[in-house]
Structure 1
Amino acid sequence: MLVEKKTFTIEGFKTFNGSFLPQVQIGWESWGQLNTRKDNAILVTHYFSGSSHAAGRYQETDPLPGYWDSLIGPGKPLDTDQYFVFSCDTLVNQEPFNPYVVTTGPASINPETDKPWGLDFPVVTIADFVNTQKALMESLGIERLHAVMGPSMGSLQALHWAAAYPEAVERMVSVIGMGEADAWTCLGLQQWAEPILADPNWQQGDYYASEPPLQGVLQTLMQINQQALSPELINRTFFQHHPMEAGPLESIREDYRMVKRFREECQERAKLADANHLLYLIRANQLFLAGQGSSLKEGLQKIQAKCLFLPATHDQLLPPYLARQTHENLLALGKSSNYQEINGSWGHLDGLYTITSQGELIRDFLAEK
């Protein structure tokens, strides 16, 4: 499938914490056709380092399709002959310098100053990501989603949709997700922020006219990428690694070949990323609580949707207990919830690369009456 990036603009946007943005722009993509009743829409919400590019290619020559291409398309579990599937770039997207990403965030121009917002940009939450999506949904004339689903940070958005707009969501699928950021998860996310905060080029977020904190961004992305992978996958990828490699034995200045390769791979993504955007994304995840109320129970109590949780058994970033607790809380509240673990070797990324193992379960869940 070939797909195009479209832009949606909101004039005047009030954030969850009460701040005001004069204008917000987000990118979005879609697959399939909206039917005349406009009741066949499925919203796919993306993960931390992702975008709305969930399936298809922009050009036939693109080396890889969108991240859930195995799920979305004609005859696939999210069958585009049956469903209208759409997805949105989030606010403060990790890669504002990616030509295929449209996002408003700290690197955007503040119309009042004609300079980048920097840290004057308001703190945003998962609720704000959802509210931009809801504005797009309403502009398309869609009143109710057949389903909302997404992996990792996308699962947070999907769950918040079900809690914040219960009458607008029929089904919710949380893949490699959680119901709230507990203390362990909050602290883990903070470790991603620390390299940027420690980079002298960060300058309290005011670096757009000078040298950006690229070293901090690189270290942050290296941490994220390692934690998203399983030990098994890393050991299999770098199978030639040996602890007694000559270079590191002879000089503290010399890195392992494996470390050099991993760093080089992360450097390519760092070119498209922005330090402040990463910090705002991290904070949005730290602030997450389904429903953004006083307690998880309060948020889950509002849910009317049928729910499906698909954590990854070997996930060390968002371990299965986070999804299991949410599922069990829903059952205790008398809600409809199902739970199935993805058993693979990718770790957290099983939610992207091993998701086809759950394809028939997802297909059946979407077809339930």
Structure 2
Amino acid sequence: MFKNLIFFIVMLLTFDAWCYEDIVKKQSFFIPSFKTFNGNEIKNVRVGWESYGTLNSDKSNVILICHYFGGNSHAAGRYSINDAKVGYWDSIIGPGKPIDTDKYFVISVDSLVNLEVGNPNVITTGPASIDPATGKPYGMDFPVVTIRDFVEVQKQVLDSIGIDKLHAVIGPSMGALQAYEWGSVYPDKVSRIIPVIGSGWASANLIGWLNIWSAPIKLDKNWNKGNYYKGLAPVDGLTESLKVIALHGQHWEWANKNYGRNWADATHNPMDAYANQFQIEQTLYDIAKSRAILSDANHFLYLAKACQLFFTGHSSSSSEGLSRISAPVMIIYTEKDQIFISDQVKKTSEMIAKDGTPVYIVELHGSHGHFDGVISIDQAGEAISQFLNM
């Protein structure tokens, strides 16, 4: 990426986060006092962010990546040379890739109330944070936050770097909601948006599902109305909640094709049903348990509420909010999505295009349903590249 060693050293010494060679560094951003969309004040807000590529002289090559419900700002690259896990969209972000870091400065920010409180590479503020007024964790006294608040925190990070215009805003799932919000609230600051596997509002069906996602946490006796930070955390309830997401996010083909009616342990007596599990049951538990170890139950509930409350623009209606989007839009979706169903995504595109705003549709194919927006995003790589170069 860098033309010569001298240029590389100068950039590294001046602002190493602006350099991307597959190894990335998490940065921290501090807001002394943040006012939420609902008018509440949150003091001492900290969020993490990371970047890939080089910011050009007029700061016109910036692409903002907004992450999904269970994700964070680690969209690409590795934290160390021995890091086995790359960022979730590494297949499309990097030198010569569709979101080309030889050309663009790509930045992503950890959300408020980020799920992975236990991840050492996540910096976030939420219910598990210390309330400076009490010296204790906020718990459920933390103010309700919205997708708009996630956007406003991102904007403050960008403002601190002197970035006033975005070449594009891109994100999957909850990240798509943020992309719509950016296009609606700051139409003069966004040149194009790419919402992936997301629609312009949370439907009644999704609101109901988010309630179901959240229910096991509240049924766990250790939740104690959110006051568990001095005792046992509701890990069992959180695990069950994450199991629901693990299955809901997939298309039914995934389970049927990969697991069928096979038992997790074929040596057990199949009729002793409670001493033996099907493979799909064990798989969902294993996926959820590994996530629960790093996650916080209250943060989960706050994220779910933010998604339930979402409709683009947070104004009088979704149609009004979507009508404010003037930048070209490329919507990436899958017909097999069971979270943001395709009819709703198509309706979103129609509402945006109603006043002549250019809207392009790209369909993903696979058996992972909603999760294809992360797993199979490379299918849309060429379309993304062309759209960014328009």
Normalised by the length of structure 2, the TM-score is 0.92
CA distance in 2, matches of 1:277, 1:321: 30
**1:250-276 Cα deviation digits (max 9, x unpaired):** 244543243123312321110111110
CA distance in 2, matches of 1:240, 1:67: 30
What residue is the counterpart of 2:325 in the other structure?
A: 303
Q: Structure 2: which 5+ residue stretches go unaligned?
A: 1-21
Of 230, 248, 262, the residue aligned with 2:284 is: 262
Q: Say if 2:26 is the partner of 1:11.
A: no
Q: Say if 2:381 is the partner of 1:359.
A: yes
TM-aligned CA deviation for residue 357 of structure 1:
1.1
Q: Say if 2:339 is the partner of 1:317.
A: yes
Q: Say if 2:76 is the partner of 1:55.
A: yes
Aligned length: 368
Q: Structure 1: which 5+ residue stretches go unaligned?
A: none
TM-aligned CA deviation for residue 64 of structure 1:
2.0
Of 326, 332, 339, the residue aligned with 2:354 is: 332
CA distance in 2, matches of 1:155, 1:81: 24
What residue is the counterpart of 1:33 in the other structure?
A: 54
Does the CA-based 8 Å contact 2:30-2:47 persist in structure 1?
yes
Moved more, 171-180 or 224-233: 224-233
Does the CA-based 8 Å contact 1:42-1:86 persist in structure 2?
yes
1:315 maps to a residue whose letter is D
Q: What SS class does the counterpart of residue 167 from structure 1 fall into? A: coil
**1:161-182 Cα deviation digits (max 9, x unpaired):** 0001111100000100010011
Does the CA-based 8 Å contact 2:323-2:351 persist in structure 1?
no
Normalised by the length of structure 1, the TM-score is 0.97
Does the CA-based 8 Å contact 1:89-1:102 persist in structure 2?
yes
What residue is the counterpart of 1:23 in the other structure?
A: 44
Of 259, 262, 277, the residue aligned with 1:241 is: 262
CA distance in 2, matches of 1:214, 1:71: 34
CA RMSD of aligned residues (A): 1.6
Q: Say if 2:123 is the partner of 1:136.
A: no
Of 162, 179, 191, the residue aligned with 2:200 is: 179
What residue is the counterpart of 1:157 in the other structure?
A: 178
Q: What SS class does the counterpart of residue 236 from structure 1 fall into? A: helix
Q: Say if 2:270 is the partner of 1:278.
A: no
1:101 maps to a residue whose letter is V
Does the CA-based 8 Å contact 1:3-1:57 persist in structure 2?
yes
Moved more, 301-310 or 32-41: 301-310
1:203 maps to a residue whose letter is N
Q: Say if 2:106 is the partner of 1:85.
A: yes
Q: How do 1:103-252 residues align onto structure 2 when only pairs under 5 Å count?
A: 103-239=124-260, 241=262, 247-252=269-274
Q: What SS class does the counterpart of residue 87 from structure 2 fall into? A: coil
**1:88-145 Cα deviation digits (max 9, x unpaired):** 0000001111101000000000011110000110000000000000001111111110
1:199 maps to a residue whose letter is D
CA distance in 2, matches of 1:182, 1:38: 37
Q: What SS class does the counterpart of residue 86 from structure 1 fall into? A: strand
Does the CA-based 8 Å contact 1:153-1:285 persist in structure 2?
yes
What residue is the counterpart of 1:97 in the other structure?
A: 118
Identity %: 45
Does the CA-based 8 Å contact 2:246-2:287 persist in structure 1?
no
CA distance in 1, matches of 2:246, 2:287: 10
2:352 maps to a residue whose letter is L
Q: What SS class does the counterpart of residue 262 from structure 1 fall into? A: helix
Does the CA-based 8 Å contact 1:2-1:60 persist in structure 2?
yes
TM-aligned CA deviation for residue 298 of structure 1:
1.1
